[in-house]
Structure 1
Amino acid sequence: MYKKYGVEGLLRKKNNEVYSVQFKLDVLSFMKRTGASRTETALHFGLTNPPLISSWKKKFLEGGAEALDNPKGRPVMSEKAKNVKKKDRKPAQQNEMTREQELERENELLRLEVEYLKKLRAFRMDPDGYLEKHKQRYHSNSKKGSN
């Protein structure tokens, strides 16, 4: 590395350069085809970090070419996500439900709970009768879902 690039060849680059999947495959193919070492391959392709080739090889052997496409680190935030985050920053008063809305919501949840408990009690008292009574409804619903 020193002979080819001088002192800079011995220093690792601080900017985490992103290499394409095709470039990584070319490097691995060259190394396999020629039998070159990591260092020789790195010199040939101008890479200053030969162990990087080993990590590419490991990823390729474990997950194929798709595994080489997985970038490191946190993905870039999309514009849509940024906009959603900005909307969430609105004053807390707008996000809070009024007292009346909270009571309506609680009332609806209690109605659902009572209805569920009624059905559960009916099922426990007579499971076969309950299933027979509701068989037609469930049977027709399952037909609709399969079409």
Structure 2
Amino acid sequence: MAKYSERFKLMLVKEYQGGTYGYDTLASKYGMSSSSPIKRWVKIYEKFGMEGLMRKLQKKVYPVQFKLDVLSFMTRTGFSETETALHFGLTNPPIIASWKKAFNEGGAEALENPKGRPPMSDKAKKRKNKQTDEKEETKEQKLERENELLRLEVEYLKKLRAFQMDPDGYLEKHKQRYHSNSKKRTD
């Protein structure tokens, strides 16, 4: 699933609200395989404003009972995931689909299992910080190496340009240098 920037989402929402294009036309105009995300963004923007379109840095953990209430409401009313999400104040409607899938596969217990890795212990965090410090040193070394390679590339391009402008003069100049270097090596 492609990740879209908040700016891109807002641009599409505003373009849709301008009335010039419909959902499907916008999707094909911007090379999207489906117009569903645009429909969702428009509805979320209308309910929550720009904040609804923004990515959340912190993942919110919902209690199992809340997830069950959402799924039960959706089943009772026949609302879509987007409509249900808007009703419950959720800005990420696809999360309901993942809850539904988990519930269908493993029941209420499946809704209880948090996804992803467990939080790091303090020891692991300290170890990670030490490794980061070491990586910064290697980053500096990498940058120095990259600088050196760029300097060599510039030098090479200068010589290439000089050769292209006057091949005979360049060869004559460097022929002398080559002969003097080769004599030093044989001594």
After TM superposition, the score normalised by the length of structure 2 is 0.40
| Structure 2 letter corresponding to 1:37 | S
Q: Return 5+ residue gaps in structure 1 as ranges.
A: 83-147
Q: Return 5+ residue gaps in structure 2 as ranges.
A: 1-43, 124-187
Work out whether 1:33 is the aligned partner of 2:76: yes
Give the alignment partner of residue 96 of structure 2, picking from 43, 53, 73.
53
| Structure 2 letter corresponding to 1:8 | E
Relative to structure 1, is the Cα distance of residues 56 and 11 closer, same or farther in structure 2, using a 3 angstrom cutoff? same
Relative to structure 1, is the Cα distance of residues 66 and 78 closer, same or farther in structure 2, using a 3 angstrom cutoff? farther
* Moved >6 Å (runs of 4+): none
Question: 1:12, 1:34 → 2: CA distance?
Answer: 28
Partner of 1:7: 50
Question: 2:71, 2:106 → 1: CA distance?
Answer: 14
Question: 1:7, 1:67 → 2: CA distance?
Answer: 33
Work out whether 1:20 is the aligned partner of 2:69: no
Kindly, what percent of the aligned residue pairs are identical? Answer: 75
| Structure 1 letter corresponding to 2:64 | V
| Structure 2 letter corresponding to 1:9 | G
CA displacement at 1:18 relative to structure 2: 0.3
DSSP 3-state at the match of 2:105: helix
- For 1:88-123, what per-residue CA distance to the aligned partner results, in whole angstroms no more than 9, with x for missing partners? xxxxxxxxxxxxxxxxxxxxxxxxxxxxxxxxxxxx
| Structure 1 letter corresponding to 2:106 | G
CA displacement at 1:12 relative to structure 2: 2.8
Q: How does 1:131-146 map to 2 (within 5 A)?
A: none
Q: Which of the pair has the greater relative contact order for Cα pairs under 8 Å at 6+ separation?
A: 1
Question: 1:75, 1:13 → 2: CA distance?
Answer: 19
Partner of 1:43: 86
Mapped contact 1:31–1:38 kept (Cα < 8 A): yes
Question: 1:78, 1:3 → 2: CA distance?
Answer: 41
Question: 1:77, 1:13 → 2: CA distance?
Answer: 21
Q: What is the aligned length?
A: 80
Question: 1:77, 1:5 → 2: CA distance?
Answer: 33
Q: How does 1:96-107 map to 2 (within 5 A)?
A: none
